[in-house]
């Protein structure tokens, strides 16, 4: 007689309603199978689906089932708070817990010190191990111990990843044409002591203005531009590139910057096709920012203004695997026409700026609303910490249209609509920190 090994199911997540899970286990398995057929490959590639060699295949399947069940339960509350939007487990992040998704987007966006301050030091929001927020000054390093240690661990990991890819050739943010001229004469090797020089460097000149973008000049619209009284949608024109995916790299700041610059150039020049520029150049070469460890779009704009950008064809994106890699000098940067940038304040100024061209905005995305969004107009997020950089590409009477960098399999083919709001922060914090390129 052959002995049969029985897999004993057990709760694998502390917040699961286990009795209800057991009652719905068969339907949850069907949901998991459908989700895996749609998103399994992309989730596994980007690290959005947990895999452990230490667990049996049965344990892994049980864990995935419970994760899908938890996600399905979490959708109910966000749906009530957002009646004009739709949410579903058929989203690429559904196998991640809330905390895992929070960590995935955490700190990929950094607020620069361009608004000024007595110390001139950039301030970055950090989460502690318990999920609470603390403010850490990048110069003094003051924060709670858990946040500090998690930040150091992240920085060490990114540095090691960069070193493992080869010798780093960082492009200077203070000299023009550095990719074509400044990196050919030799290599710079990072020493171990550089680990502690992790704060953003002092901002180069010229210092960006804080005034609102001028609305006296109207953009030259491309033939297909959708611009009418009370609405704008640049995503329907040739001046917005197809949706891309940043993968498992915290490079939203680079994607938002490149998207805004290339669209602004296309619109200003009256072209019917834009020049697609390289996000990888910013991730690997913009030494003021932290590669896959996050960055400030304002610092990226400074870099672009002084160094230009290579085309995407000559310097394609390879950091989707989570590594920044060394800066390459093999491409020839082009002038983008960027002369600086302006900070935007409030929804009215944002709408005026969008009429000229797309605008870089920061949002609070580390929540179930963004995790499970599939369409419609979002009116409420349950977090306010700015952790993700995106681009506002349009608006209408009720919403602001957002271009994300999580691929076409998320949201409305890669886009989201946020409800217009009288709040000073805007829906999901969208009007809290905004920058528009000046051409």
Tell me the pLDDT tens digit for each residue of 139-198: 333 334 444 444 445 455 544 444 443 333 344 444 333 333 333 333 333 222 222 222
Q: Which is the catalytic residue, given 252, 292, 310, 327?
A: 252
Instruction: Report the share of the chain in percent with pLDDT over 70.
Output: 71
Dist. CA 399–CA 230, nearest whole Å: 11
Contacts of 380 (CB under 8 A, 6+ apart): 81, 82, 369, 427
Q: Give the tens place of pLDDT for each residue, 264-304.
A: 999 999 977 899 999 999 999 999 999 999 999 999 999 99
Instruction: Report the share of the chain in percent with pLDDT over 90.
Output: 60
Q: Which pLDDT score is estimated for 9?
A: 65
Choice between 292 and 108, residue whose per-residue pLDDT is larger: 292
The overall average pLDDT reported for the chain is 78
3-state secondary structure of 238: coil
pLDDT bucket at 111, cuts 50 / 70 / 90: confident
Dist. CA 257–CA 112, nearest whole Å: 14
Q: Which pLDDT score is estimated for 225?
A: 42
How far out from the chain centre does Cα 85 lie?
21
Q: Decide if 19 is catalytic.
A: no
Q: Which pLDDT score is estimated for 160?
A: 45
Token pair in block for residue 44: 């596994």
Q: Which is the catalytic residue, given 46, 161, 388, 428?
A: 388
Dist. CA 294–CA 22, nearest whole Å: 40
Choice between 229 and 188, residue whose per-residue pLDDT is larger: 229
3-state secondary structure of 280: helix
Q: Which is the catalytic residue, given 158, 285, 404, 428?
A: 404
Q: Phi then psi for 277, rounded to 5 degrees?
A: -100, 170
The counts of H helices and E strands in the chain are 11, 12
Mean pLDDT to the nearest integer, 388-411: 98
Q: Which pLDDT score is estimated for 146?
A: 43
Q: Give the tens place of pLDDT for each residue, 243-257.
A: 999 999 999 999 999
Q: Which pLDDT score is estimated for 108?
A: 79
Dist. CA 330–CA 327, nearest whole Å: 9
pLDDT higher than 70, residue 136: no
* Greatest mean pLDDT among 49-53, 221-225, 372-376: 372-376
Choice between 91 and 194, residue whose per-residue pLDDT is larger: 91
Q: Which pLDDT score is estimated for 20?
A: 92
Domains and CATH numbers, the chain: 18-96 (no CATH), 103-438 (3.90.70.10)
Mean pLDDT to the nearest integer, 222-226: 40
Cβ-based burial of 188 (10 A; exposed 0-12, middle 13-18, buried ≥19): middle
Q: Give the tens place of pLDDT for each residue, 23-57.
A: 999 999 999 999 999 999 999 888 898 876 678 88
**Measured at the alpha carbon of residue 213, what is the angle toward residues 271 and 201, in degrees to the nearest 5?**
95
Helix axes 57-81, 25-45, angle to 10 degrees: 100
Least confident interval from 114-128, 270-284, 369-383: 114-128
Q: Which pLDDT score is estimated for 130?
A: 33
Q: Give the tens place of pLDDT for each residue, 318-347.
A: 999 999 999 999 999 999 999 999 999 999
Pairing mode of beta strands 399-403, 388-395: antiparallel
Q: Decide if 404 is catalytic.
A: yes
Mean pLDDT to the nearest integer, 208-218: 33
Q: Which pLDDT score is estimated for 188?
A: 32
Q: Which pLDDT score is estimated for 113?
A: 63
């Amino acid at each position: 007689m052959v002995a049969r090994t029985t897999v004993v199911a057990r709760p694998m997540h502390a917040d699961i309603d286990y009795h209800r899970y057991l009652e719905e286990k068969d339907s949850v398995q069907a949901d998991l199978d459908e989700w895996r057929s749609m998103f399994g490959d992309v989730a596994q590639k980007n690290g959005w689906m947990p895999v452990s060699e230490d667990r049996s295949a049965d344990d892994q399947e049980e864990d995935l089932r419970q994760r899908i069940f938890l996600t399905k339960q979490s959708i109910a509350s966000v749906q009530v708070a957002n009646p004009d939007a739709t949410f579903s487990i058929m989203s690429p992040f559904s196998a991640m817990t809330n905390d895992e998704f929070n960590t995935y987007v955490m700190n990929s966006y950094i607020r620069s010190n361009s608004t000024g301050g007595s110390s001139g030091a950039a301030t970055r929001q950090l989460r502690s191990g318990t999920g609470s927020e603390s403010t850490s000054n990048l110069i003094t390093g003051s924060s709670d111990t858990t946040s500090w240690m998690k930040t150091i661990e992240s920085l060490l990991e990114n540095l090691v990843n960069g070193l493992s890819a080869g010798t780093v050739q960082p492009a200077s943010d203070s000299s023009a044409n550095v990719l074509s001229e400044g990196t050919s004469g030799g290599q710079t090797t990072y020493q171990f002591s550089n680990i502690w020089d992790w704060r953003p460097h002092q901002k180069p000149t010229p210092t960006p203005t804080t005034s609102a973008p001028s609305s006296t000049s109207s953009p030259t619209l491309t033939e297909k531009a959708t611009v009418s009284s009370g609405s704008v949608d640049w995503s329907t024109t040739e001046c917005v590139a197809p949706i891309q995916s940043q993968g498992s790299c915290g490079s939203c700041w680079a994607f938002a910057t490149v998207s805004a610059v290339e669209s602004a150039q296309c619109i200003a020049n009256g072209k019917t096709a834009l020049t697609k520029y390289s996000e990888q150049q910013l991730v690997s070469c913009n030494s003021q920012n932290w590669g896959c460890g996050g960055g400030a779009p304002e610092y990226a704009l400074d870099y672009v203004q002084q160094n230009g950008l290579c085309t995407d064809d000559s310097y394609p994106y390879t950091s989707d695997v989570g590594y920044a890699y060394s800066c390459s000098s093999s491409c020839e940067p082009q002038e983008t026409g960027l002369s600086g940038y302006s900070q935007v304040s409030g929804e009215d100024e944002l709408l005026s700026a969008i009429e000229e061209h797309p605008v870089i905005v920061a949002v609070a995305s580390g929540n179930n609303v963004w995790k499970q969004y599939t369409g419609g107009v979002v009116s409420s997020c349950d977090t306010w910490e700015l952790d993700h950089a995106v681009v506002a590409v349009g608006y209408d009477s009720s919403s602001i249209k957002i271009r994300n960098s999580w691929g076409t399999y998320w949201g409305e083919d890669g886009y989201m609509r946020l409800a217009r709001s009288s709040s000073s922060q805007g829906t999901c914090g969208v009007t809290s920190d905004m920058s528009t390129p000046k051409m």
